[in-house]
Amino acid sequence: MWKVLLVEDEVFVRESIREIIRWEEMGFILAGEAGDGMEALSMIKEDPPDLVLTDIIMPRMDGIELLKEARQAGCSSKFVMLTCMGDFEYMRQAMEYGASNYILKLSMSVKDLRETLHKINAELVKSSRAKEAPAPQVLSQPERSAHPEVQKILTYIEGHYAQDITVKSLAHYVMMGENYVSALFKKKTGQTLISYLHEFRIHKAKEFLKRTDLTVNEIGERVGFMNDNYFIKIFKRITGTTPSQFRKG
């Protein structure tokens, strides 16, 4: 069973979500509830859930800040955001930090929740299998997409991952707008640009760790991370361990 943390300051909404879903039938167990982001962050650090289902607008710490703080703490939990119609700027920020999906609170239904949980369950199963039998070579295959601009981006990342790459620079490279490129890439690959770039760089870092005696700092620089603390944080988020631990194990 995948563990879920439900974060919502409105008690009625929280109770409704808790009651309308047969969690165990979907492969989940509602492991905890929190009324705001600060309470939730403490729970996440103590016992990271597989999925955090969180409102965006909350007192003390909102859902975006919760997601940001959780990621900075090395938490790789899936995040699904509960949002209102006017929260689209918040949603843009949430996607930048790797939120998996969002649900509109005003039109939320059992069907919406079930479809989202089904999607998250599939992602968690896939991720779990990948850890058991990793196939990182997939990350270096630009043929994952038949779309010409997306393929250009994949090929560019493969050849220039050690350089400073941003969504803006990639958008300029394929002569498209940043928002359009980001949406197109996510649609065609199932990943955000930054998520893909991070995974590709970490895949290369793992090769360096296995095959060379370079220091962690040197490897981080060789795969495009100019800050070794950030490199270690991203490495741990993706692999579940630090570069030094990975090399020992």
Nearest to 41 by CA among 58, 59, 61: 61
Instruction: Indicate if 178 and 155 belong to the same structural domain.
Output: yes
pLDDT tens readout for residues 81-97: 888 766 667 777 777 77
Instruction: Indicate if 224 and 110 belong to the same structural domain.
Output: no
Chosen domain end from 65, 97, 132: 132
CB 54, CB 101: distance < 8 Å: no
d(CA 26, CA 74): 27
The number of residues in the chain equals 249
Band of residue 219 on the pLDDT scale cut at 50, 70, 90: very high
Cα-Cα-Cα-Cα dihedral of 63, 72, 6, 120, to 10°?
A: 100
Instruction: Indicate if 73 and 125 belong to the same structural domain.
Output: yes
Chosen domain end from 132, 158, 178: 132
Instruction: Indicate if 32 and 124 belong to the same structural domain.
Output: yes
Instruction: Indicate if 45 and 90 belong to the same structural domain.
Output: yes
Band of residue 244 on the pLDDT scale cut at 50, 70, 90: very high
Instruction: Indicate if 124 and 196 belong to the same structural domain.
Output: no
Give me the number of domains the chain comprises: 2
d(CA 204, CA 196): 12
CATH number of the domain bearing residue 43: 3.40.50.2300
pTM as predicted: 0.53
d(CA 136, CA 145): 17
Whose tokens are 């990793």? That residue is: 134
d(CA 113, CA 136): 31
pLDDT tens readout for residues 7-56: 999 898 889 898 888 898 888 999 999 999 999 999 999 899 999 999 98
Structural domain including 243 reads: 136-248
Instruction: Indicate if 176 and 128 belong to the same structural domain.
Output: no
pLDDT tens readout for residues 158-201: 889 999 999 999 988 888 888 888 988 888 888 899 999 999 99
Residues 6+ apart with CB under 8 A from 196: 139, 154, 157, 185, 189
Instruction: Indicate if 82 and 62 belong to the same structural domain.
Output: yes
Instruction: Indicate if 97 and 149 belong to the same structural domain.
Output: no
Instruction: Indicate if 181 and 89 belong to the same structural domain.
Output: no
Instruction: Indicate if 24 and 121 belong to the same structural domain.
Output: yes
Least confident of 61-65, 74-78, 162-166: 74-78
